[in-house]
Chains A and B, each alone.
Chain A
Amino acid sequence: MYVADSRAGTPASAEGAVRPAGRRPAAVAPTVFALGTVSLVTDVSSEMVTAVLPLYLVAGLGLSPLGFGLLDGIHNGFSAVVRLVGGHLADRGGGRHKRVAGLGYGLSALCKPLLLVAHSLTPIGIVLAADRTGKGLRTAPRDALISLSSTPETRGRAFGVHRAMDTAGALLGPLVAFLILRATVDGYDAVFTVSFCVAVTGVLVLVLFVPGGHPAGTAPAAPPAERPTVRAALGLLRHRDLRRVAGCALLLGLATVSDSFVYLLLQRRLDVPDRWFPLLPLGTAAAFLLLAVALGRLADRVGRWAVFLAGHAALLLCYALLLASWHGAALPYLVLALHGAFYAATDGVLMAAASDGVPQGLRSSGLAVVQTGQALARFACSLLFGAVWTVWGDRAALAGATAALAGCAAFSLLLRPGSTSRAPGPPEGTAIP
């Protein structure tokens, strides 16, 4: 259905949605709102399951969830590959972003009812792996759609709006799940069913309200040299801008300690009572939600790279506070606010910055390369951090990460990959020499 739609050239598309006047700041494109809604709804669905999963395994099924995390390493590597494949598939055939993203959202939605019939660890592990595959598939095409639906001048804000909606869904999900558990007796089946219905709604919003294919009239602008082949995708790394963006994201990722370590350190250093421990990620998410749009707009105004680096400065401050001997009552709030600000200044902003350096025809592949590089670098950092913690203790590990982050940030500052793609950026298609 949507294929025919997209060929019909809906006016809701992308570059066309931006008001030509330009006197007022252009509104965020309807497609971005639609994608934000899809993400919000999908995150409600997936976080519902995530929130009750431990309880379901232990109290519902009587299983021991320990050792479940052992598979995480394999999942991480696998989802990196899936993300690259998703990015590449989406670029082939003249922009199948919507179809590949829809496949990813659909796969994750189908996993929810499967949880109703999986009653032991192995099948549940497989279902969760499939769920993650869906997430890996959809991420790059979705971000490509966001970047293709907004002008270079407003891209930071578009990603900011999307990330804020996404995070709002993640905060709502657990709330919905526990309301259902409260209203029922052992209502895990109800949680999974409702989660499925919510996920299907997300897929429907995508199918009905996100235009497919290339934005009308802009597809031919992509030069033939950038045909979306694997070789072309690899060739992207020859573009100086993208190489520098990817390189810096990778370097900084190598010094970005995984969230769970941050919360663990916070708890250890500040004696956060156990009952508050599950609330720590909510603090980060709340700050992310509140700051995402503002920092996205700021990135449009003062340059994406400046905001991206400032985000890492916030993270650096966050580490420094964890290392310092000051134990004030405001410290946990400050650390979580900085941690959330780090995400708000880097997550969507990096995609906006990377978009400037990737031609339209390879947008998904390019974003997937950057995302995957960053994810793998963070995973390597986690392994290294854990190893240093084992040998020299948590303070030494954090001090090492702090020094590494400072070094990587200084180096990124010298590279200045943003110097050629500062907003307002050059028109589409001319950024690549």
Chain B
Amino acid sequence: MTARARLLILLTAVAVLAAVALASVLHASARADRRDRARAGGPAVASGPVSLTGPGRMVFRNMAWGPHRDELTAVPAADPSGPRTASGVKCLRFHAAAGTGICLQAVHGPVSDTYRALVLDARLKERARYDVPGIPSRARVSPTGHFAAWTAFVGGDSYAGTDFSTRAAIVDTRTGRLIPTLESFRIVKDGHPHRAADVNFWGVTFADDDRTFYATMATGGSTYLVRGDLRTRTVTTLHTDVECPSLSPDGTRVAYKKRVRGLPEDAPWRLYVLDLRTMRETPLAETRSVDDQALWRDDHTVVYALPGDYGADLYTVPADGTGSSRRLLTAGLSPAFPG
């Protein structure tokens, strides 16, 4: 075959491949139109002021298709499937307590996405912003509103890199002082100091004393529930097989997702509650795999997200293992009861 013929074959093939590539890009960009149109039968959403003070309100990331997708949205806590008020503030992850909010956002740059955490006041105005080193995963504000925490996935920079890690940060919202990673804390594992390059933290939850927090720590292939002390900068392991803990309002129990043996690799978690005094585990009545940091609506009920038609729906289940799960609302994620 002559060089000319080879070149001709290559150019023809490249033209065909370029057409396929272009078609796929155009197809994917056409989705923008569909996304901005509200879908018939979906929740009704209207713009309006959203506040993080005052009881009886639930604020979450609205996942319903239409112009207000991804915005922080408020509904009456007593009627969660009622009309939604959208604030115009877009967040990937959100939580709020005592008039302070934390909002993890994507910033679309020219070359790649970056992420940031915004500390919000009661009227959703930005009070401070911090860089987040990777894709946001969890967000939490302390019951006092004085501390906020977030977790991000970091990694994937080698060839076919699959080695992901997490980074968990805590900020004092009064002083702005940031702990960029909990990996700087002293670790006490099973009574002994522990140091390892493979330590990862995620899923922080706060007590109401402005000092104690709980989180997941992973090292050596196992996950642990740790109790952290912000004053001594120490974390201590309490229990194994605990991910994304969430402390109950009375501070006695932790709701979490547990990797249960024998479940499929794709759906490995079940919701559990751990009593911190007796260390007794109670499986909750939700029978599906939950990959979320649950939230306590009150001392008896937890709220969590499951995948749904719009991306995610919110469900509730009793915290004592009785009853059954119930859908709270469709098309929502990252709820908070800030009042």
Contacts and interface: CB of A to CB of B under 8 A. Distances in A.
B197 A135 contact: no
B108 A201 contact: no
Contact of A59 (B32, B135, B159, B266): B135
B113 A178 contact: yes
B309 interface: no
Nearest to B183: A268
Interface string A32-69: 00000000000000110111011100110011111011
B92 to A, nearest CB: 8
B158 to A, nearest CB: 7
Interface size class of B (residues with CB under 8 A): 35 or more
Interface stretch (A153-161, A187-195, A233-241, A293-301): A187-195
B21 A193 contact: yes
Contacts of B79: none
A232 B256 CA distance: 58
A208 B158 contact: no
Interface string B153-174: 1111111111111110000000
B276 interface: no
Given A201-B14, A390-B195, A55 B113 contact: yes
Interface string B107-127: 010111110000000000000
Contact of B221 (A70, A174, A275): A70
A201 to B, nearest CB: 6
Nearest to B216: A66
Interface stretch (A259-267, A327-335, A414-422): A259-267
B161 A58 contact: no
Contacts of A16: none
Given A46-B159, A186-B28, A274-B133, A393 B195 contact: yes
Contact of B10 (A187, A197, A204, A274): A204
Contacts of B164: 54, 65-66, 68-69
A185 B31 contact: yes
- Chain A interface bracket (under 10, 10 to 19, 20 to 34, 35 or more): 35 or more
Nearest to A194: B21
B252 interface: no
A209 B195 contact: no
Given A190-B25, A274-B180, A393-B195, A197 B135 contact: no
A310 interface: no
A117 interface: no
A187 B25 CA distance: 7
B153 A178 contact: no
Nearest to B17: A197
A264 B156 contact: no
B135 A278 contact: no
B35 interface: yes
Interface string B8-33: 01100110011011001101110110
Contact of B160 (A1, A5, A128, A204): A128
25 contacts: A47-B159, A54-B155, A59-B135, A64-B291, A66-B166, A66-B202, A68-B163, A121-B266, A128-B160, A174-B111, A184-B28, A187-B29, A190-B28, A194-B25, A200-B13, A204-B9, A204-B13, A274-B132, A274-B180, A275-B114, A278-B112, A278-B157, A385-B197, A386-B196, A386-B198
8 nearest CB pairs, A to B: A274-B133, A69-B163, A184-B28, A187-B28, A193-B24, A120-B266, A197-B17, A190-B28
